[in-house]
Structure 1
């Protein structure tokens, strides 16, 4: 990851009122280009996204607008949108984060089972809150999961809807991870809650093995049945989120609690839930961003609608 320093007085890219400090993804690793960015005056730091090549900018902005209303402890609601008529972008508050694919690369391979279970419980409880809002995430994949000190953040809301309308085949389109896409959504079906369960299964498989659709024997024995059911081609064979939380919490020694509470995730997301290498990488990122010199913009700032 780049240090974020401007250095030498050279110009850097500016998007709306923000100077782009450093990307958080490897090239082509996410459904959007995502950056750590800061206002020209240096008073606000955000996570800023622009649509990936090939993604319809109008659909991208519509999903970003809908993401302003997301609830749940582990979501990243939009707080600022590009003004109409300009280049599309949206921003969320900055927290130190590592996309799941970057985290596996820094860790030197798959994550410990403790981390995978904590991740699964937090994401399943978050999806339950989103579904309770009569919404479907429709974008869950490894790249959509950002790891932070205290837990994950679920990003890329509506990526499936942004790339193509319902009824259009979504296979091999830019902006979505085909290997984490539920078969019914790939065929053009309307995103539904059990499609999010498929994406969650693919994400947990990736965290545990480095592959979204691994061979059954590659998965840890204690996760094998649950993840395999999540990845069923038939939606009705996939587990409900309450079942996922129960099984993942039981293996992680969480306190018994009613489904929908935050006790399951908070019990698992205790110090040590992340490997030490990832904690160090997050600390380095936070320090680098704090210490970043403000580079010289290449263009005057544009105004947006800020909504903290």
Structure 2
């Protein structure tokens, strides 16, 4: 979907992941501007207290004709397709359940603030030792403006694209839930859009509801989090739990706040929120991300990645030269795909 590079400063004291458009889109001026706008929105959303399990954007390229980019602090992590390759096949049910809970928790925060992520796909989900990280904010909006069909466009994974967004509809929270269902189906089977019968029985019902063609038949991200965390204990002292502030959210509540509708990002807990919802900085999904949540082969691959990055040497430039407009100042030019 996009190109990701690991870049390090010459002094070795700063390492980031630089994201840039795919080769097919790098010369599209309109796309470059949409990419830059979505990257800036992601940077603003990550300011202050970013949603749990969302990889924060800390720098964005300026305007002009140069190639746009965004930068995220480096963390040893692998994309979901790379994780399945390292594991030699689909992930265990426990891993998929924990992955889904963490991503649902993140999306619930994004949706409570009145936004749609519009970029959930296997290629934008990364796994680290302590949990997943979600990148790719606004990929659907960057691919094409609302009203234009998006199916078959470079930069988008069609299997994770909600049908209403493929037809040109505005990205909305329940579209993120569809995309999350596609991610979990892929993680559990190793195939894009598998038949329902191919899914593990423990996940079949939840994933099928996420993939409903009618958005009204899909659960909210909060409801999906509740389902995936059912039976998973979260050890917290009673003093950390607050009583619900109102009725729990329903499908019709999704995306009803935020720009054009109310609360701003980080404005505080929504209806029915508790300290366990992540609104107070405490992650419910963390209860599913304990020791053993990742298969051993994936842990080994993450360790290898970390060692490779630490051992990488930045070749000194032959002569001092101004930094190109499309590369972060102080970021090493050497990079790993």
Q: How would you bin the TM-score normalised by the shorter chain?
A: 0.7 to 0.9
C-alpha distance in 2, partners of 1:251/1:177?
33
Are the structure 2 counterparts of residues 54 and 161 from structure 1 closer, same or farther at C-alpha, using a change threshold of 3 Å? farther
User: Which of 167, 172, 180 pairs up with 1:200?
Assistant: 180
Q: Which aligned runs of 4 or more in structure 1 are off by greater than 6 angstroms?
A: none
1:284 aligns with 2:304: yes
Do residues 269 (structure 1) and 289 (structure 2) align?
yes
CA–CA separation in structure 2 for the residues paired with 1:297 and 1:140: 38
Measured against aligned partners, the alpha-carbon deviations of 1:121-142 in whole angstroms (never above 9, x if no partner) come to: 1000000111122211001011
1:60 aligns with 2:82: no
Q: Does 1:160 align with 2:151?
A: no
- C-alpha separation in 2, matches of 1:164 and 1:213: 23
Q: Distance in 2 between matches of 1:88 and 1:263?
A: 33
Q: Is the 8 A contact 1:82 1:305 kept in 2?
A: no
Please give the alpha-carbon distance, in whole angstroms, between the structure 1 residues aligned to 2:203 and 2:323.
Answer: 49
* Mapped contact 1:40–1:297 kept (Cα < 8 A): no
| TM-score between both structures, scaled by the size of structure 1 | 0.85
Which of 185, 192, 199 is 2:165 aligned to?
185
Structure 1 contact 255–263 (Cα < 8 Å) conserved:
no
Residues 80 and 126 of structure 2 are in contact (CA less than 8 Å); yes or no, is this contact kept in structure 1? yes
Which of these two proteins has the greater Rg computed from alpha carbons?
Answer: 2
Backbone CA RMSD of aligned residues: 1.9
The CA deviation string for residues 136-177 of structure 1, in whole angstroms up to 9 with x for no partner, is: 100101111000010000011100001100000000000010
How many residues end up aligned between the 2 structures?
A: 276
In structure 1, distance between residues paired with 2:300 and 2:149? 42
> Would the aligned equivalents of 1:205 and 1:219 in 2 still touch at CA under 8 Å?
yes
Instruction: Provide the C-alpha distance between the structure 2 equivalents of 1:119 and 1:76, rounded to a whole number of angstroms.
Output: 15
Task: Tell me whether 1:81 sits opposite 2:56 in the alignment.
Answer: no
Do structure 1's residue 295 and structure 2's residue 315 form an aligned pair? yes
Cα distance in structure 2, aligned partners of 1:236 and 1:114: 28
Q: How much has 1:222 moved relative to structure 2?
A: 1.2
1:1-308 aligned within 5 A: 31-55=1-25, 56-68=31-43, 69-70=45-46, 71-85=50-64, 86-250=66-230, 252=232, 258=274, 260-261=277-278, 262-297=282-317, 300-302=322-324, 304=328
Q: Contact between 2:323 and 2:329, CA under 8 Å: does it hold in 1?
A: no
- Partner Cα distance (1:200, 1:297) in 2: 43
How many angstroms does 1:297 deviate by?
A: 4.8
CA distance in 2, matches of 1:255, 1:180: 34
* CA distance in structure 2 between the partners assigned to 1:42 and 1:300 by the alignment: 19
1:8 equivalent in structure 2: none
Q: Distance in 2 between matches of 1:240 and 1:211?
A: 24
- Contact map agreement 1:80 1:305 (CA 8 A) in 2: no
* TM-score, reference length from structure 2: 0.78
Aligned 8 A contact 1:40 1:301 in 2: no
